Each structure stands twice: as structure tokens, then as C-alpha cells.
A and B are shown apart, each in its own frame.
Chain A
Amino acid sequence: NAGVTQTPKFRVLKTGQSMTLLCAQDMNHEYMYWYRQDPGMGLRLIHYSVGEGTTAKGEVPDGYNVSRLKKQNFLLGLESAAPSQTSVYFCASSFRTDYNSPLHFGNGTRLTVT
């Protein structure tokens, strides 16, 4: 039981390049989330999904797109990377269909945009 797995762990992009971050969970959780973490800012919610085929915007959705084609996977895409998107990205999942269910986090993807 791996929990929440994020790939890749590290990535360096040039401005304007695109990439997709993959999150996979093996706990059969309904809800999945993408956060970014920057120094002094805590974790900020980018997008989330309440089930397969659904997505919704969080606090800071601009510049990102997401897809949840399979229940166990949640993809975060950057179509045209900008230096402001340099951050550590965390994926999380939760079981119950309410927001009080504890979140299970992956160990993050460190992205640098030059």
C-alpha cells in the first residue's frame, strides 16, 4: 500500500515549456487535491476533484489545468510555465465525501522554472 505517489520528484523547466505532474493513490479515495507550497505562504489549493471526471478550482487555479480521468489518478498540467510557478507541489487525497475527511499527502514535486 503505497498511499499517495507523485511523479516526478524534481523537475527543471524553461519559461514557456509545458509539463504534467502525476498523482496516483491506491486507497480508493474519492477526493483528490493539488496544492503548492511556497516559503512563508503555507499550502495553497490549486484545484481539486470530488470524483472521477470532475474538477473544481481552488484558491490559485490560474496557469494550471487538471484532469481526473481515472479515480486513482489526478494530473496537474502547466501549459506554459512561468518563473512564478517555481514551487513545491503536493498532491493529496481523502476518503469520505465531505471536507472533514483527513487528507493523505504525497511527498511533493519540486519544480523550478528558469
Chain B
Amino acid sequence: LAKTTQPISMDSYEGQEVNITCSHNNIATNDYITWYQQFPSQGPRFIIQGYKTKVTNEVASLFIPADRKSSTLSLPRVSLSDTAVYYCLGGKLIFGQGTELSVKP
């Protein structure tokens, strides 16, 4: 079961764009890449999912290069409420350690 690799933590300031990159070298051909957000004392919440190129929704954008061995979650103009842990899944059901994003005023 393939595992993903992400930075353990990141700091940002309100209003900045934040990019979190995830490595998923062993992703299978038919697997999608999915990102989740988790606040303290809550379960993870689905943010965005994609297969290749770029996907955008009202919350974030997801960039996936042609080789699909990595992906980048982009959060535009973060606010304090975006402080959370972000997980990427390269298919299947295995979570990595996640990236703890801290947004400062």
C-alpha cells in the first residue's frame, strides 16, 4: 500500500498563497490524488481530488504533473481559519503524516 510524503509543518501569514507539495512515487495508474483537511477534535474533511493536470474548486486548486509522482495543493489567500493539518492520499486508503499549516496574523 503506497504511502505519501509531505512536509511536516509550514508557516504562513494571512492573505498569502500557500502551496503544499506531496510526493506519491508509487501511485497506481487508476488512482486519484485526494487531499483532506483536519481541524483539532474533528475528523478529516475532503477538500479536493484530481487525476492529472489542474483541478480547482471554491476552496483550493490541485496541480498534478504529467508523471503524477507528486501533487501540489494551493490555498489562495489563507486566513487564520485555514490553520489545520492537511493530508494527501495517492490512491487507496493510506494516509501520510500530514502537513501542519499554521497561519499567523
Contact A59 B43 (CB under 8 A): no
A105-B43, A107-B42 known; A42 and B1 CB under 8 Å?
Answer: no
Contact A102 B95 (CB under 8 A): no
Closest to A3 in B: B43
Contact A41 B34 (CB under 8 A): no
Query: CA of A92 to CA of B93 in the docked complex: distance in angstroms?
Result: 11
Per-residue contact bits, chain A 75-103, to B (CB 8 Å; 1 contact, 0 not)? 00000000000000010100000011011
- What A residues does B92 contact at CB under 8 A? 99
Contact B34 A102 (CB under 8 A): yes
- Rounded to whole Å, the gap between the CB of A40 and the closest CB of chain B is 7
The secondary structure that dominates the B interface is: loop
**Interface stretch (choices B18-26, B44-52, B58-66, B75-83):** B44-52
A33-B93, A42-B95, A45-B94 known; A100 and B43 CB under 8 Å?
Answer: no
Closest to B1 in A: A59
- What A residues does B87 contact at CB under 8 A? 42-43
Closest to B42 in A: A107
- Rounded to whole Å, the gap between the CB of A9 and the closest CB of chain B is 10
- What A residues does B49 contact at CB under 8 A? 100, 102
Query: CA of A42 to CA of B44 in the docked complex: distance in angstroms?
Result: 11
